[in-house]
Amino acid sequence: MRTCPVLAVASSLALLSALSCAAPVWAHHSFGATFDANKPVTITGVLTKVQWTNPHSHLYLDVKDKDGAVVAWVFEGYPSVVLYRTGWSRDETVTIGDTLTVVGWRARDDSPFALGREVTLPSGKHLFFGPLAGTGEGAAVAPGN
């Protein structure tokens, strides 16, 4: 059986076009897929980096463990637009080198990764950084703000 050269070229071009135009899809995970509601954490450390990104922002803290070794923790939270609504300001709320305390839930694999719920700033002010455990839903307004 012979194939028509024009049809073969057209089919190849259509396939190539479809593959090259396909946008990457970023998977958005549920709370339970990554974090464990039975593993609450309260971590205090020095801020080394902030990522104001979507669908999640991230805080990076250097934390001393019980033996004095520094462990690099990452806390996942709301996207930047929600952080803004909860009282965060990109250039004013936190500065690299600040000591922060983050309350949240640890990753299921026990890595130094957690969903951050609330951050205590050096001033003592508390701001929400992420949703409640479980559903991923929750108020986006910190108490007293």
Write the DSSP string, 68-105.
S-EEEEEEEE--HHHHHHTT--TTTS--TT-EEEEEEE
Please tell me the predicted confidence (pLDDT) of residue 41. Answer: 96
Residue-wise pLDDT for 67-106, tens only, equals 999 999 999 999 999 999 999 998 899 999 999 999 999 9
What pTM does this model have? 0.72
Contact 100, 44 (CB under 8 A): yes
Residue-wise pLDDT for 98-109, tens only, equals 999 999 999 999
Q: How far is CA 38 from the centre of its chain?
A: 19
One-letter identity of residue 18: A
* Pairing outcome for strands 113-120 and 70-77: parallel
